[in-house]
Amino acid sequence: MKKKQIFEFYPLATDTKPSVPVVEGSVHAGFPCPVDDAYLQQPIDLNKELIKHAASSYLIRVVGDSMIDEGIEEGDLLVVDRALLPTEKTLSVCMFRGEFALKRIVQSEGRVSLMAGNKKFFCLRLATAILFNFGQQH
């Protein structure tokens, strides 16, 4: 039986200049208001806004629900940057038992734990850890 993939990996296309129009002003989470072309600003380059280190970044599509309490759901597309070192304040792509996993790395009392963002999942406490930098989600 074939194992289900945890993530789908995608390389970044850095030779394109995708742009999305920006609406001037703020948005309220109440009564919907139609956007008129008069409010549109210059388009923004999503590569410039979302990618800090293009050569070390990639996209992954999330499979599963282990990070739903972090606001990350199945099907979400994440930008991951291998140039950024993992910290306890960020989510990181980790390798655990031969599989990739998106977790929060927590270090305490000389031990490393991989924390899921869903109370249904166990904390993975590692007796020893060799941390490879597969990247940090941002």
Q: Which residues are catalytic?
A: 66, 103
Residue 58's CB: how many other CB atoms inside 10 A? 19
* Cα gap 114→130, rounded to integer Å: 12
Residue 57 neighbours by CB under 8 Å, 6+ apart: 12, 51, 79, 80, 81, 82, 83, 135
Contact status, residue 120 vs residue 63, Cβ threshold 8 Å: no
Contact status, residue 91 vs residue 67, Cβ threshold 8 Å: yes
Where does the chain show beta strands of DSSP type E?
7-11, 19-20, 44-45, 57-62, 77-81, 91-96, 99-108, 111-115, 124-126, 136-137
